[in-house]
Structure 1
Amino acid sequence: MYKPETHRRIALLVCDVPADAIRERHGDYTRIFGTLLEVSLKPINETRSADSQATFKLEPFDVRAQVYPKDVDEYDAILITGSVSTAHEYEQPGREWIKKLIEYVRVVATEKPWIKIFGICFGHQIVALAMGGTCVRNMRFEVSATKLQLTELGKRVYGVESGILNIHLMNRDHVPNEPPSFHILSSSNQSPNHGMVLFSDSEFSEDAPPSNFSLTDIHILTSQGHPEFTESIMHLLLRIRRELLGPELVRDGESRAGNQNDGVAVIGKAIWGVMGVE
């Protein structure tokens, strides 16, 4: 049974710094992810009594400078952010921090199963590499608000009967082969794995996902998409990366940036559910 306490302490493993234009308007990743967690927690707290209001503390660690929690056992969860760096280039000079991050995640995941792990975009790819999956360059970028197809398990984890998850994307690398015992939650027309879970209990680690489970049975949850991105952040990113992405893809992304975004209401809510806050 997961801890009944209402306070959650979360270590944010920061893998990048937002571009200046984004940071000036929306803050650094601690603020951006803090906003995601705060806004997604609000409707949950509205259903709880005054003496059972859930709270959290999000503490950042710059893993690029190889700064990590002194005692990870003090945390309920670790959350790995996105990055412009390439996860699968960890053997290249200057990327030693990526190799250390992969090993750190592997150790926490295998030796401390009571600590929840969340990986977003680059973090999703780091989890895959740490746990025996693959990460490679895809044919082209995926950007902006996109409709993902949920697996049957994805529908149950996210509570979305329609089978469609709307989320902001900004990626070219992807995870074509999930690690052993992981189960895929969503996919796009271009990438077969846009999110995955690992269950805590060994009985849930078979080839087929469990027929009955609660969100607290999930040990690791990842998303290739960005639940922390807003329409404003996406517009800024598309402008900043216009030369890299090309004008046609930028125009397409701009046209979809204001579409439905389930980052807060669906993925944010699921993150809290995995931590036992429902």
Structure 2
Amino acid sequence: MEPHIAVLVLDTPFGSVAEEFGDFGDNAKDLLKDSKLPLVKYYIAYDLDKPEQQDVTDSTLENLREYVDSGVVKGIVLTGSRSDAFDNENPWIQSTDKFLKFLIANKPGFPMVGFCFGHQILAKNLGSKVNRNTNENGWECGITTISLNKSILSVEKSPFVDTLDTEDGNVLEHINLVEFHRDIVYGLPPTSNASSNSLASQTTFQSIGSTNKCSIQGLVTESGPVKVLTFQGHPEYSTRYALKLLELTHSIGMIDKATFDRSSYKTNNLINHGPVIANVVLKFFEAHS
């Protein structure tokens, strides 16, 4: 097997949206189509009414662990999911947690990227609190403007340097990404006991930016051996995909009409910076793979 980046698909296909746009793994591969390394999908999630699939998931993750050990897998992408990253009773989430803990504890310099749920489950395994957002904030949907923290330009091997440059010589201070979540990461991974020799205790992180509904819009390694880049948003979702998803979730009652109308307006009128973030992710992998 040739060296590649593993895309962990953490949801089952979502109805008519998947029929038109592919599954979450396909979306990630499309976003990173210019990667120097091939991207290979690994299916982790399954319908919980098919418990026999857990053996398949465990086998897949065991194979992945061996591929990481042997150097075949050079990095991972964790996709979004309709599941809750904090659902510690879900068997495939438990297995994914175990796999991530292994990487965090044993693989210095190994690059890990997460989108939405992928961001949340990585943050959880680094020690952050992850849970439902407040009822007041509720869903954050559609293309949303994120205020970036300038300090992300100063982290070790920052993937944001040059990739946020504009044609007129400026640097983007805000980006617009598709969001679709009501779970959030509540804070940065905690600083571990200074006497600990764990890789995580030697690593610090920064928040990429914030919105008025979510203060941690992603994580990036500031310094240290655990290499993480995550986004609460979905850079892998096109504007057309986002509009279709808004229509579907409104039709089945997941979001109310006010949320649908507001989110649809933003999505129709804001530039989608997903392609910008694609370059950020590719630069991150190239720096650490």
Tell me the TM-score normalized by structure 2.
Answer: 0.77
C-alpha separation in 1, matches of 2:248 and 2:141: 13
**CA-CA distance at 1:253 after TM superposition:** 1.2
2:278 corresponds to which residue? 268
What is the root-mean-square deviation of aligned Cα atoms in Å? 2.0
Letter in 2 for 1:72: V
C-alpha separation in 2, matches of 1:155 and 1:256: 27
C-alpha separation in 1, matches of 2:108 and 2:223: 7
Paired residues for 1:152-171 under 5 Å? 152-155=150-153, 157=158, 158-159=160-161, 160=164, 161-171=171-181
What is the aligned residue count?
A: 239
2:49 corresponds to which residue? none
C-alpha separation in 1, matches of 2:175 and 2:4: 28
CA change 1:256–1:155 in 2 (3 A) is farther
Letter in 2 for 1:223: F
CA change 1:273–1:254 in 2 (3 A) is same
| 1:221 corresponds to which of 205, 229, 233 | 229
| Contact 2:8–2:25, Cα closer than 8 Å, also in 1 | no
**CA-CA distance at 1:271 after TM superposition:** 0.8
CA change 1:76–1:200 in 2 (3 A) is farther
| Contact 1:227–1:262, Cα closer than 8 Å, also in 2 | yes
| 2:208 corresponds to which of 168, 174, 185 | 185
Q: Which runs of 5+ in 1 are unaligned?
A: 1-6, 42-53, 203-217
| 2:23 corresponds to which of 9, 19, 28 | 28
2:193 corresponds to which residue? none
| 2:100 corresponds to which of 98, 105, 113 | 105
State the identity %. 26
C-alpha separation in 2, matches of 1:71 and 1:162: 37
Runs of at least 4 residues of structure 1 off by over 6 A?
none
1:126 corresponds to which residue? 121
2:78 corresponds to which residue? 80
Tell me the TM-score normalized by structure 1.
Answer: 0.80
| 1:246 corresponds to which of 220, 245, 256 | 256
C-alpha separation in 2, matches of 1:152 and 1:233: 30
Letter in 1 for 2:139: F
